[in-house]
Amino acid sequence: MRKILALAVLSACAFCSTTFADQIVLKNGDRLSGTILKSDGKTLLIKSDYAGDVTVQWPAILEIHSSEPLHVGLSNGQTVVGPVTTADDNLAIATATQGTVTEPKAEVKTLRNDAEWTTYEKSLHPPLTAGWAGGANVGFALTRGNSQTKNLALAFTAARKTSNDDIILYTNSVYAANDAPGAIPATTANTIQGGIRYDRDLAKRLFAYVGADFQTDDLQGLNLRSVLGGGLGFHAIKNDFTTLDFLGGLNYTRENYVTVQRNFAALSLGEEFTHKVGMSTLITQKFYIFPDLNDTSQFRGTFSFGTVTKFSKWLGWQNAFGDIYVTNPPVGKKQNDILLTTGLNVNFTH
């Protein structure tokens, strides 16, 4: 009698665990029970008690049965919430306010349980202090003996990306000196650049941006160049490996040289390209031209190219090349300023 009661209790427990678990049925007849976590309309992730997280191709699913409410995102942009069942290749969502809502499985773009929905909501509106990623680059060289020089290159970048906007911060500097007695000039390079930009998506491929850039260069006699501007950008290519953006807008430039000061409005025309090579190397390239609206024969152009190769999650090696061209520098100064740096890259996320 005791054995019969024990078997009955075990059977009841097994029945309850199956009854109160989510379940999917595949077209080949296989069944998976557990907790449905999320789906992007291509795959579905279910956490199984015996197999852990299992990813299933969405077209291979015949039936879905959830014991807890799911947040179902539809192709029309609507999200409905409730336990989900399937019938005749349709999803039936038992909502608390609209009754049962039936939609074709092909119209379902996303599925999320409560925990995944909370995470998704936070990703849409993260606090300003969260979601940052970037890196710091450090390069140093020193010689003594027949030559006495030192060179220090520093750079820092940080970006905060959400589903619909980006904030980008950057700064870099190069300092070099010839310490040999009587060397002229004793300082052979001393330049600092920095800036901030904010992008906001207006449509799938269209975005607006505003930004500010600043630069000093002792050897060019540039005390400070300030560039404030904004405009529109277009994502010509945007996927997990490659992005290509074209941007156009207006800016106000204020240049304070040792011998002259200039203030003028200018166009901002440029393109930005990034590409991942394998899983460890990132290539970035930017080209901009800024025609002076007061005198169209004068302009400033900038070009940059860089690579970062990761050795580990937080450490890598970076190379960066930059060229700034000015058509009308102060008398006695050259039109081009070229920067080339290389060194360690330390990555961070927050």
pLDDT 10s digits, 141-161: 888 887 888 999 999 999 998
Which of the two residues, 240 and 237, has the higher pLDDT score?
237
In this prediction, residues 200-225 reach a mean pLDDT of: 94
Task: Tell me the β-bridge partners of 172.
Answer: 155, 193
19: left (phi over 0), alpha (psi -120 to 50) or beta: alpha
124: three-class secondary structure by DSSP: helix
Are 101 and 25 spatial neighbours (Cβ–Cβ below 8 Å)?
Answer: no
What does the pLDDT look like over 52-69, one tens digit per residue? 899 999 889 999 999 899
Q: Using pLDDT thresholds of 50, 70 and 90, give the confidence band for residue 120.
A: confident
pLDDT value, residue 350: 67
- Give 40's Cβ-side CA count (13 Å radius): 4
What does the pLDDT look like over 256-290, one tens digit per residue? 999 899 999 999 999 999 999 988 899 999 999 99
Whether the pLDDT of residue 32 is over 50: the answer is yes
Q: Using pLDDT thresholds of 50, 70 and 90, give the confidence band for residue 9.
A: very low
C-alpha distance across the termini of the chain, in Å: 61
Break the chain into its structural domains and give their ranges: 20-124, 132-349
pLDDT value, residue 246: 98
Whether the pLDDT of residue 1 is over 80: the answer is no
Backbone angles phi, psi at 260, to 5 degrees: -155, 155
Residue that is written with structure tokens 């060397």 in the block = 183
Nearest to 294 by CA among 330, 260, 335, 251: 251
- How far apart CA 290 and CA 267 sit, in angstroms, is 5
Percent of the chain with pLDDT over 70: 94
Are 33 and 23 spatial neighbours (Cβ–Cβ below 8 Å)?
Answer: yes
What topology does CATH give the domain 132-349?
Outer membrane phospholipase (ompla); Chain C (2.40.230)
pLDDT value, residue 256: 95
Enter the tokens of residue 98. 């609209």
What does the pLDDT look like over 319-333, one tens digit per residue? 989 999 999 888 888
- How far apart CA 233 and CA 243 sit, in angstroms, is 12
Whether the pLDDT of residue 17 is over 60: the answer is no
Whether the pLDDT of residue 2 is over 90: the answer is no
Q: How far is CA 192 from the centre of its chain?
A: 25
Do the strands 31-39 and 108-112 form a parallel or antiparallel pair, or are they unpaired?
antiparallel
What does the pLDDT look like over 157-169, one tens digit per residue? 999 988 788 999 9
Angle value at C-alpha 304, between 332 and 190, nearest 5 degrees: 45
pLDDT value, residue 13: 42
Percent of the chain with pLDDT over 90: 53
What does the pLDDT look like over 71-81, one tens digit per residue? 999 988 889 99
In this prediction, residues 294-306 reach a mean pLDDT of: 92
Please state, rounded to an integer, the average pLDDT across all residues of the chain: 88
Residue 29 burial (10 A CB sphere; 0-12, 13-18, 19+): exposed
Whether the pLDDT of residue 7 is over 50: the answer is no
